[in-house]
Chains A and B, each alone.
Chain A
């Protein structure tokens, strides 16, 4: 504990604080990622596998066998009696007795006590959870809606916020300080506070049940303006002066010089914006009422309300929803974590 608190980095031999730290991290991985891994594993189980209690780690399900003239029957291993060790298929259960047949001799019915047998399990990935999902659930439409909102909103956020950050950092005008303070003040007006009036405004503008209704309200973010302005303040004014000498227009200076130089700060804002937009829930739920404009989280939420018992589809759908984010994170992990850390330090 002591060493751990002071962050002195031991070299060479491991002392107990190293063990404690690694133990903590391993437990952390289990708690943070374990639930997601469990979701992924479960989503590949068939309905019978999902109903099994206690659950198995891997996707097992009861094996069946096709018996001539009797269709598909469940396969059991007999534990006791003369037949011990043989695999029989069950035709029906009568009380504590089961009528069973040997798959190779379908005409001879054998009666076996129910306790004296165990189901034969086999491993199988229930990919039908995913394949039949697309028929029941318009995944691509919701995916498109979510992607459209995320991408368009992020582009607009970057554009609108960087324009105002440019003016607030590079121009001297009478309104500069008040404007900046007003923008910071909106930090105090989170979307939850203005839920009702924003709904009215969206309705008046004809934006309800439209993806644009989700996009516009969050486009101007005080965090974004602040982040970009702080960064642009560090760019030397001489660059702008040199461009003006060359008769470049102010707009050209903004997008040809200032924007490319602000790329690191823009990247951080883009990461934040994508995170906010992809996961947004309450405002889309208020403004989007028709299911064809639902985003992925909304669709998932309404799906889970309807089908609480159909876990096999629900799990597959949840995996499909988290997969895009997970793939992006796997590739850009380093940049995302560093970007957010750098924003926190400022």
Chain B
């Protein structure tokens, strides 16, 4: 431990001289820029510059990586992505996979976010009671959050395979086995289920913290007035928990719109296009297909970005409501 501490001190002493030099030359306020510079450099290089390059890619065609070698095509990428005879039927679209992705993502978001919020809230309420081994149960619900998406997918693939334990259970009670991941509706169901399984622990923790932040006196006052329990929840717990619920809702929404990892490993987007989501379209178009269509991928990214922008603004508004 002592070695670690002295190594740490030695490393942290390295910038001492240049920083002292800067301190001597710059006014106090200017030194602030020196401290934020590394962060701004990384942000600039990997967040802001990429947005500009995204615009360049979206306006150019071809499969070259270097923007200078790419022919200008105007809004052709966007036009081709948005070109449909009937937008509600992906099969009538030029880029049918993109639209399958959009509608699947939308469907997924509605079910996943709603159900996850419900289960997280229920779990948080149960865990907020005086219960023996509460820490253990809290840890159990949180544990899957730590697992890598590939591990999550493989765990469930093993359970859901045709000769898996779930089908064995089904046959034990006399039902016939199901090809869970080869049936479009079931594959979609399991996508929703597994993503809730893998992420709900995180949201449960936030809601639980929100519940514990409600002052006990308020509950006691309500108990003194003999408030019926349901009304107690509706009039006291729920409104006071609202800011946390909002945070969970928007965070969950932003995450769900970008769902990719677990489902990609589990189903590969199939059967057919049943579990192909919008991020998988971007990945596939830009990196996995034989011809890498960076322009289309960038245009699709920008369309996704505009949706996320709205969601993030919602989140900031929610955060403000919570803090103010």
Q: B254 within 8 Å of A by Cβ?
A: yes
Report Cα–Cα, A174/B31, bound state, in Å.
11
A84 at the B interface (CB under 8 A): no
Please report the number of residue pairs spanning A and B whose Cβ atoms sit closer than 8 angstroms: 323
Chain B positions 155 through 183: 1 when the CB is less than 8 Å from some CB of chain A, otherwise 0: 11111000111001001100000000000
Closest B residue, CB atoms, query A302: B150
**A161, B129: Cβ atoms under 8 Å?**
no
Name A255-293 residues within 8 Å CB distance of B: 255, 275, 278-279, 281-282, 285-286
Closest B residue, CB atoms, query A184: B316
Distance from A54 Cβ to chain B, minimum over Cβ atoms (Å): 4
Does B151 touch A at the CB level, under 8 Å?
yes
A7 touches B158 (CB 8 A): no
Q: Are A167 and B260 in contact (CB under 8 A)?
A: no
- Assembly CA distance A160 to B151 (angstroms): 31
Contact B308 A5 (CB under 8 A): no
Residues of A within 8 A of B261 (CB): 281-282
CB-based contact B137/A29 at 8 Å: yes
> A164 to chain B: which residues have CB within 8 Å?
35-36, 38-40
Q: Which residue of A lies closest to B20 (CB)?
A: A249
Residues of A within 8 A of B144 (CB): 32, 36
A120 within 8 A of B: no
B39 and A160 contacting across the interface, CB-CB below 8 Å: yes
* Complex Cα–Cα for A321 and B150 (A): 10
Are B138 and A337 in contact, CB atoms less than 8 angstroms apart?
yes
Docked pose: A288 CA to B241 CA in angstroms: 43
- Interface magnitude class on chain A: 35 or more
Interface of B is mostly: helix
B43 touches A183 (CB 8 A): yes
**Does A54 contact B168, Cβ atoms closer than 8 Å?**
yes
Question: Which positions 172-205 of chain A face chain B at CB distance < 8 Å?
Answer: 172-176, 179, 182-184, 186-190, 192-201, 203
Binary per-residue interface labels of chain A (1-15) against chain B in the complex, 1 for a CB within 8 Å, 0 otherwise: 011111111110000
B19-A300 in contact (CB<8A): no
Closest CB-CB distance, A12 to chain B, in whole Å?
11
Q: How far is the CB of A269 from chain B (nearest CB, A)?
A: 13
Q: When the two chains form their complex, are residues A179 and B40 in contact, meaning their CB atoms are under 8 A apart? A: yes
Residue of A whose beta carbon sits closest to that of B18? A251
Known: A189-B47, A194-B46. A300 touches B151 (CB 8 A): yes
A195 and B30 in contact, given A7-B211, A21-B129 (Cβ under 8 angstroms)? no
Distance in Å from the Cβ of A198 to the closest Cβ of chain B? Answer: 5
B42 in complex: contacting residue of A216, A254, A298, CB < 8 Å: A216
Query: Is A8 a contact partner of B223 (Cβ separation < 8 A)?
Result: yes
Taking a contact as CB atoms under 8 Å apart, the answer to whether B125 and A5 are in contact is yes
A134 contacts partner chain B, Cβ-Cβ < 8 Å: no
Q: Which of chain B's residues has its CB closest to A22's CB?
A: B131
Do A25 and B47 have beta carbons less than 8 Å apart? no
The answer to whether the Cβ of B321 comes within 8 Å of any Cβ in the partner chain is no
In the complex, are the beta carbons of B197 and A6 less than 8 A apart?
no
**A32/B122 in contact, CB under 8 A:** no
Per-position 1/0 for B1-23, Cβ under 8 A of A:
00000000000100110011001
| A18 to B301 Cα, complex, angstroms | 48
Which residues of B have CB within 8 Å of A281?
Answer: 148-150, 260-261
Q: Bound state CA distance, A168 and B301, in angstroms?
A: 31
Cβ–Cβ < 8 Å partners of A163 in chain B: 35-36, 38-39
Closest to A345 in B: B209
Bound form: Cα–Cα A31–B233 in Å? 27
CB of B215 within 8 A of chain A? Answer: no
For the complex, is A301 an interface residue (Cβ under 8 Å from B)? yes
Are the C-beta atoms of B150 and A297 separated by less than 8 Å? yes
B290 at the A/B interface (Cβ < 8 Å)?
Answer: no
Q: B53 to A297, Cβ gap below 8 A? A: no
Let me know if B297 and A195 touch, CB within 8 A. yes
Q: Is the CB of B42 within 8 A of A187?
A: no
The answer for the CA separation of A160 and B51 in the assembled complex, in Å, is: 22
Inter-subunit contact B298/A197 (CB<8 Å): yes
For the complex formed, measure the closest distance between the CB of A202 and the CB atoms of chain B, giving whole angstroms. Answer: 9
Interface with B: A69-77, A87-95, A310-318, which one? A310-318
Query: A206: which B residues are within 8 A, CB to CB?
Result: none
Q: 3 closest pairs, A vs B, by CB?
A: A344-B206, A173-B29, A197-B50
Additional A-B contact list (14), CB under 8 Å, known A173-B29, A175-B36: A21-B129, A32-B201, A161-B39, A163-B39, A166-B35, A189-B47, A196-B53, A196-B286, A197-B53, A200-B65, A250-B19, A281-B148, A282-B261, A322-B148
- Chain B residues packing against A (C-beta within 8 Å): 12, 15-16, 19-20, 23, 28-36, 38-40, 42-43, 45-54, 57, 65-67, 122-123, 125-131, 135, 137-151, 154-159, 163-165, 168, 171-172, 197, 201-202, 205-206, 208-211, 213, 219, 222-223, 228-230, 232-233, 236-237, 244, 247, 254, 258, 260-261, 265, 279, 282-283, 286-287, 294, 297-298, 301-302, 304-305, 308-309, 312, 315-316
Binding site for B on A (CB under 8 A): 2-11, 18, 21-22, 24-25, 28-29, 31-33, 35-36, 38-39, 42, 51, 53-55, 159-161, 163-164, 166-168, 171-176, 179, 182-184, 186-190, 192-201, 203, 216-220, 225, 249-252, 254-255, 275, 278-279, 281-282, 285-286, 296-298, 300-301, 304, 311, 314-315, 318, 321-322, 325-326, 329, 333-334, 336-337, 340-342, 344-345
Q: Can you list 21 A-B contacts (CB < 8 A)?
A: A7-B219, A8-B229, A31-B197, A159-B38, A175-B36, A183-B43, A186-B43, A187-B316, A194-B54, A195-B283, A195-B297, A196-B286, A196-B294, A200-B66, A252-B16, A279-B147, A281-B148, A296-B148, A300-B154, A342-B209, A344-B210
